[in-house]
């Protein structure tokens, strides 16, 4: 009985991990999201593309690009089979 519980736990933990995309993400695809226009991001496009191709997702500390305002946010980019999804979370 305990063996089945351990196996079920391992499967659920493994299934929750992000996977690298089937088709590698390119710099051009990243730039189409306009994240560098909408957010102030320290990481270079190459660093983000490398992380997406390795892990399938990346989360960055960022700031929303609004003149005269300082709005800290977390930006999460997911590499899906349909393309890149950009999600924003307030810090």
Return the beta strands (E) in the chain as ranges. 39-40, 57-64, 71-80, 83-90
* Predicted structure pTM score: 0.77
Tens-place pLDDT, residues 22-77: 899 999 999 999 999 999 999 999 999 999 999 999 999 999 989 999 899 999 99
pLDDT band of residue 17 (cuts 50, 70, 90) is low
Q: Are 86 and 77 in contact (CB under 8 A)?
A: yes
* pLDDT number for residue 20: 86
Q: What is the pLDDT of residue 19?
A: 83
- pLDDT at residue 81, as a whole number: 86
Q: Would you state the pLDDT for residue 2?
A: 60
């Amino acid at each position: 009985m305990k063996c089945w519980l351990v196996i079920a736990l391992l499967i659920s933990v493994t299934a929750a991990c992000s996977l690298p995309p089937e088709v590698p993400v390119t710099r051009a695809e990243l730039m189409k999201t306009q994240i560098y226009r909408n957010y102030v991001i320290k990481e270079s496009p190459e660093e983000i593309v490398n992380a997406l191709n390795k892990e399938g997702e990346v989360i960055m500390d960022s700031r929303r690009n609004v003149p005269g305002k300082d709005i800290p946010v977390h930006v999460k980019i997911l590499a899906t089979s349909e393309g890149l999804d950009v999600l924003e979370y307030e810090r």
